[in-house]
Amino acid sequence: MYGSDKQFGDFSVVPSTVSQPGFIELPSQKIDKTTIAHLTPEQQTELLEVLDTFPESFSDVPGFTDVVEHTIHVSDDFKPKRLNAY
């Protein structure tokens, strides 16, 4: 690590949307019915039920996941190259 690097530690994220009391818009209500018109009525119903069963997975607001963690493996003799200043 470089001497000027700092550890920021844990920080919390403020929700970006404010929900109105008593009003919850389900993902199925946001779907334009013409976009799923090619499906049979039974398939449409099944799709909309899945969307409403797992609304957190089909939200417009990005969320946090810790399912995948990325790492970069380098050799023991690796030395980062210094880039020229602009």
pLDDT digits (tens, 9 = 90+) for 40-63: 999 999 999 999 998 888 877 777
Closest CA to 25 of 52, 54, 63: 52
pTM value?
A: 0.49
Residue 7 has pLDDT above 70, yes or no: no
Which H or E element spans position 43? helix 41-53
Closest CA to 45 of 57, 56, 33: 33
Kindly report, residue by residue over 10-51, the tens digit of the pLDDT: 666 655 555 555 557 888 888 999 999 999 999 999 999 999
Largest Cα separation within the chain, whole Å, is 62
Closest CA to 48 of 65, 59, 36, 61: 36
Residue 4 has pLDDT above 80, yes or no: no
16: left (phi over 0), alpha (psi -120 to 50) or beta: alpha
